[in-house]
Amino acid sequence: MRHSEPDVVIVGAGIAGGALGTVLARAGFEVVLLERENSYPDRVRGEFMAPWGVTELAKLELLQPLREAGALFTRRNIPYDEIFAPAEAEARAFDLTKMHAEGFGALCLGHPATCDIFAQLATTSGASVLRGTGDISVTSGSRPIVSCVHDGASLEFRPRLVIGADGRNSSARKNLGFKVNADKPRNLLGGMLVKGVPSWPRDMQVIGVEDRFHFLVFPQGDDLLRLYGTYHFADKSRFDGPDRRAKLIDAFRRLTCLPYAEAIAASTPIGPFNSFSNEDHWIDDPTCPGVVLIGDAAGHNDPIIGQGLSIALRDVRLVSEILGEAKAAGREPDFRPYVEERAERMRRLRITAQVVTTLRVEFGQEARERRARVGKRVAAGQLAPLPASLIGPERLPAEAFLPETIEKLLAS
């Protein structure tokens, strides 16, 4: 450690913290990152990056390292569904390469691997990354204080700025008493990594519905797939118990609309099956004196639309730009543009997730008819918030998120 008064201390060296630490260190800031984990566990999330998030990666000059590490790009999304035959679903495939200027599509890479890459980049860029750090405490103020224990020693930092990037259960956020707003939990989403599916096209992702099961499949390297299932709380026992991994595999085995169901049924689980409740959490203002929160620490979108990584990288870009401009001008940073942009971004994505939940996690005949109607309307060009999850919420007009627009979209 060079000294105990760095420019920035980042609490959390996961994807958001590691990316921001890299960008700031490259810009000449003295940065210390504090990470609880010695190695990054499989958290069963954070492995799909929407096309608009890939654009953020490119703007941050962080895309190439992930490509070199073997990231896959899904170029087509096939909406396999009980309401039409597989051939029709394939004819309705979305071309994900057309969603952003880079033309790569969506990005898929394991969460632990991405965390490791960004932590290593931060280190080689000049940041200090302290893994296995415990008892982290943050005090706000014009000169905030961060205390922790690392390698048995008590450390104290007095940086110019503390950035909380320590995830959904952020201790920095709890320390500082931020008020977290939350929607009522809507349903459960569980995921698991499996191996042994070499027949799955590496450029294809799938999001579909059959019976009382909303399923998602994203490829990883070699013959790996990440499987996700979304289901009602009333169906929780279907996926509970010591054999829960086998139960998820069985749910995919039963799918008649998915041509690769038998291939998945023959796969082998190689990670845990964890499930989480689906709802939005947000903070009206994720800043206080000397502190700013980013990524999930600042509030997360309902994971049903997979926006977590894209949100985090937009946060990284906006905060790093504000800090860079303030440093160049010799003044204190003003985070109001970040606060305002993030609030509107999260509001739009919250609405988008609510519509997607209505379409994909409501089951039965009425729900099937609704999905069919909405699919035709969107294909015909009717205004809807749905593209926000692929192209970015700011690229749609404000009218797309109005109640009357959504009512017209869903109307019978």
pLDDT tens for each residue of 51-105: 999 999 999 999 999 999 999 999 999 999 999 999 999 999 999 999 988 899 9
Question: Do residues 170 and 293 lie in contact, with contact meaning Cβ atoms separated by under 8 Å?
Answer: yes
Question: For position 102, what pLDDT does the model report?
Answer: 85
d(CA 219, CA 173): 34
Question: For position 47, what pLDDT does the model report?
Answer: 86
* Residue 46 pLDDT class (50, 70, 90 cuts): low
Parallel, antiparallel or unpaired: strands 281-282 and 128-131:
unpaired
Question: For position 43, what pLDDT does the model report?
Answer: 76
Q: Cβ of 412: how many Cβ atoms within 10 Å? A: 6
Parallel, antiparallel or unpaired: strands 76-78 and 72-74:
unpaired
Whether residue 258 has pLDDT greater than 70:
yes
Q: Over 268-336, what HEC string results?
A: EECCCCEEEEECCEECCCCEECCEEECHHHHCCCCHHHCCHHHHHHHHHHHHHHHHHHHHHHCCCCCCH
Mean pLDDT of all residues in 332-359: 98
DSSP result, 109-131: --HHHHHHHHHHHHHHTT-EEEE
Question: For position 3, what pLDDT does the model report?
Answer: 52
Question: For position 44, what pLDDT does the model report?
Answer: 76
Parallel, antiparallel or unpaired: strands 181-182 and 281-282:
antiparallel
Q: Which residue has the tokens 């396999």?
A: 80
Query: Burial letters for 305-326: b for 16+ Cβ neighbours within 10 Å, e otherwise?
Result: bbbbbbbbbbbbbbbbbbbbee
Tokens representing 155?
A: 């450390």
* Residue 229 pLDDT class (50, 70, 90 cuts): very high
Average predicted confidence (pLDDT) for the chain: 96
Whether residue 2 has pLDDT greater than 80:
no
Mean pLDDT of all residues in 370-377: 96
Cα angle value 382/387/391 (rounded, 5°): 135
Mean pLDDT of all residues in 192-209: 97
d(CA 168, CA 12): 11
Query: DSSP state, 81?
Result: B
Question: For position 260, what pLDDT does the model report?
Answer: 96
Whether residue 1 has pLDDT greater than 70:
no
Question: For position 123, what pLDDT does the model report?
Answer: 98
Sign of CA dihedral 23, 28, 34, 39: positive
Percent of the chain with pLDDT over 90: 95
Mean pLDDT of all residues in 312-327: 98
* pLDDT, tens digit (0-9, with 9 covering 90-100), for 100-148: 888 999 999 999 999 999 999 999 999 999 999 999 999 999 999 999 9
| Burial class (CB within 10 angstroms; exposed 0-12, middle 13-18, buried 19+) of 351 | buried
d(CA 375, CA 269): 33
